[in-house]
């Protein structure tokens, strides 16, 4: 699809008669874009829905298509989407429960408010995909029943269901064995892996010859190990799973399971202490962001040499400023205001702003509510990182912003461009001298102070490489209509699309576009 037409489909100034012309010529991509318009008439909605069922489903989820507009025999996916949204017709429920197509019964199983007799029928469905979807949403008593289902895939999705009773979740987390009973459950007899490839005793399966390909890591030697692992992951991520059952897996050989335990709040302190010593850095990084860990675990993690561990710790609310400053000395923490810096007292702010180490000054420079003396002192800092942090502060003068760019150029250019007080002259200078710096063009093009000469300068930059995106400039309505008209044929996809969506695009150009691409 022509990018200018895609833009035109989103253009708020598109006349009604041209919208009528655009609907019947739309391919699926263009129809999807048109479906997002808030000004569609009932007839246009129905026309778009009739062209592509995927668009009909989109319109349902956007509350634009009603049940009376849908024939379930012609557009079953749209009818099922209405049931999923809770606004479908009840007679459709039994129609889809008896549908020979398993994909439709599967979608029905995920819909809310199903009658008990339909739930029962879906629970007994011969297709495991249908029962698995039901297991994810089933009410408590039915979920407890499905926890004993002979297929491991069904049990795996019961483990993700927050309505599953804690007793069943505890049993599922214990896992199943190939003999006897584990966790009070009989062993599962099948999984999706061994459904496709019978497993000889003592041998792992080869690639299945069926229609479903194995995902990396899927395997079954008769105990359905990959499905059991997925089931434990889902149970650990389920807030209804009892704390004691979660804590028991803190020593499991699987790093993925220990990572999920590390994310769980409300566990005993000794469990967190053990996880703080975990040999896998990812586990420790997840633990560092857990709001339930105590001061001892925080101190241990603050000494961790893993940068992702320390970064996760730095972003946690309630961290002491002392710990944060220790972390900041060893790694860059970006330009996001950290919680303990946001809540720092006036005294602490002043101490950070005058610290010897530039990393500490950078911590406080990202705040945009600094007192003028502190702000101005940081704006004259010799460290480029401090200047980059303070540059978007709304109180800075143009002279100070220019001085930053003169001293450090591309290292601060995009940050200076984000300053709300940046003048048109400064913005134009940034485009002409520093367009190759990451995000400068987009930041300038979106700036409310960008004048027409500034926007034209953005659009003229072709040397800036893949990071620069002048399409934001092409969408600005301040551009002269003649310039916008020329941009609809630009060889840069994003520019042409943005020009087509520009509300200042002349109507005659819109008509010409439709005529050329009809």
**Residue 504 CA to its chain's centroid (Å):** 33
Taking 3-state DSSP, the helix, strand and coil percentages for the chain, each rounded to the nearest 5, stand at 55, 0, 40
Q: Measure CA of the first residue to CA of the last residue in the chain; give whole Å.
A: 11
Please count the CA atoms within 13 angstroms of the CA of 454 that sit on its side-chain side: 25
Provide the 3-class DSSP secondary structure of residue 182.
Answer: strand
How far is residue 350's CA from residue 346's CA, in Å, rounded to a whole number?
Answer: 6
Position 464 scores a pLDDT of: 47
The pLDDT assigned to 203 comes to 44
Residue 465: the pLDDT is 46
Cα torsion angle, 363, 337, 398, 409, sign = positive
Q: What is the 3-state secondary structure (H, E, C) of 256-278?
A: HHHHHHHHCCCCCHHHHHHHCCC
- Phi then psi for residue 185, to 5 deg, are -110, 145
**pLDDT digit string (tens) for the chain, length 518 residues:** 799 999 999 999 999 999 999 999 999 999 999 999 999 999 999 999 999 999 999 999 999 999 999 999 999 999 999 999 999 999 999 999 999 999 999 999 999 999 999 999 999 999 999 999 999 999 999 999 999 999 999 999 999 999 999 999 999 998 643 334 445 788 888 888 887 765 554 444 444 444 556 667 777 776 788 889 999 999 999 999 999 999 999 999 999 999 999 999 999 999 999 999 999 999 999 999 999 999 999 999 999 988 899 999 999 988 999 999 999 988 888 899 999 999 999 999 999 999 999 999 999 999 999 999 999 999 999 999 999 999 999 989 999 999 999 999 889 999 999 999 999 999 999 988 876 665 788 899 899 999 999 999 888 876 544 445 678 889 999 999 999 999 999 988 999 999 999 999 999 999 999 998 87
Q: What is the pLDDT of residue 175?
A: 64
pLDDT of residue 205: 45
Distance CA 210, CA 232 (A): 26
Task: Name the residue among 386, 378, 426 with its Cα closest to residue 408.
Answer: 386
Burial class (CB in 10 A: 0-12, 13-18, 19+), 163: middle
Largest CA distance in the chain: 79
DSSP state of 439: T
Is residue 94 within 8 Å of 67, Cβ to Cβ? no
The string of DSSP letters for 190-229 reads: B-HHHHHS---TT----S--SSSPPPTT---SSS-HHHHH
Structure tokens at 199: 């497993």
Phi-psi domain of 502 (left: phi exceeds 0; alpha: psi -120 through 50; beta: other)? beta
Q: Which of these, 420, 484, 499, lies nearest to 452 by C-alpha position?
A: 484
pLDDT for 459 equals 86
Tokens of 502: 């520009």
The pLDDT, as a whole number, for residue 438 is 57
């Amino acid at each position: 699809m022509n990018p200018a037409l895609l833009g035109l489909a989103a253009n708020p100034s598109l006349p009604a008669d041209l919208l009528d012309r655009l609907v019947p010529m739309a391919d699926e991509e263009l129809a999807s874009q048109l479906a997002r318009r808030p000004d569609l008439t009932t007839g246009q909605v129905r026309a778009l829905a009739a062209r592509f069922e995927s668009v009909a489903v989109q319109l349902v989820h956007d509350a634009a298509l009603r049940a009376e507009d849908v024939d379930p025999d012609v557009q079953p996916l749209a009818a099922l989407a209405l049931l999923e949204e809770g606004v479908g017709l009840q007679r459709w429920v039994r129609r889809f429960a008896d549908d020979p197509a398993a994909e439709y019964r599967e979608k029905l199983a995920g819909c809310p408010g199903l009658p008990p007799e339909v739930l029962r029928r879906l629970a007994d469905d011969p297709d495991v995909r249908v029962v698995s979807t039901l297991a994810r949403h089933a009410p408590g008593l039915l979920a407890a029943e499905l926890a004993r289902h002979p297929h491991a895939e069904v049990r795996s999705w019961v483990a993700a269901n927050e309505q599953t009773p804690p007793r069943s979740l505890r049993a599922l987390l214990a896992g199943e064995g190939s003999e006897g009973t584990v966790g009070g459950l009989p062993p599962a007899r099948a999984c999706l892996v061994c459904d496709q490839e019978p497993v000889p005793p003592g041998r792992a399966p080869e690639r299945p010859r069926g229609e479903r390909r194995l995902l990396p890591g899927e395997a079954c030697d008769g105990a359905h190990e990959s499905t059991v692992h997925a089931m434990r992951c889902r149970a650990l991520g389920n807030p209804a799973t009892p704390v004691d059952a979660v804590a028991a897996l803190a020593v499991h050989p699987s790093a993925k399971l220990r990572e999920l335990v590390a994310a769980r709040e409300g566990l005993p302190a000794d469990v967190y202490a053990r996880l703080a010593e975990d040999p896998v850095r990812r586990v420790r990084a997840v633990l560092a962001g857990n709001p339930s860990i105590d001061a001892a675990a925080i101190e241990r993690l603050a000494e961790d040499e893993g940068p992702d561990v320390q970064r996760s710790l730095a972003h946690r609310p309630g961290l002491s400023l002392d710990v944060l400053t220790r972390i900041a000395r060893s790694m860059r923490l970006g330009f996001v205001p950290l919680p303990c810096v946001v809540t720092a007292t006036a005294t602490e702010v002043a101490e950070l702003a005058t610290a010897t180490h530039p990393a500490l000054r950078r911590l406080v420079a990202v705040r945009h509510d600094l007192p003028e003396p502190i702000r101005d002192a940081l704006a004259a800092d010799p460290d480029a990182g401090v200047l980059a942090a303070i540059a978007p502060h709304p109180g800075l003068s143009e002279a100070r912003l220019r001085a930053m760019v003169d001293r450090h150029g591309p290292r601060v250019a995009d940050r200076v461009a984000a300053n709300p007080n940046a003048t048109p002259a400064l913005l134009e200078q940034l485009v002409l001298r520093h367009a190759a710096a990451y995000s400068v063009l987009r930041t300038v093009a979106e700036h409310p102070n960008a004048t027409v000469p500034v926007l034209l300068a953005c659009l003229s930059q072709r040397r800036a490489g893949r990071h620069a995106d002048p399409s934001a400039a092409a969408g600005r309505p301040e551009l002269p209509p003649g310039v916008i008209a020329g941009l609809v044929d630009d060889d840069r996809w994003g520019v042409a699309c943005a020009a087509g969506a520009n509300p200042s695009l002349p109507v005659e150009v819109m008509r010409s576009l439709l005529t050329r691409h009809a």
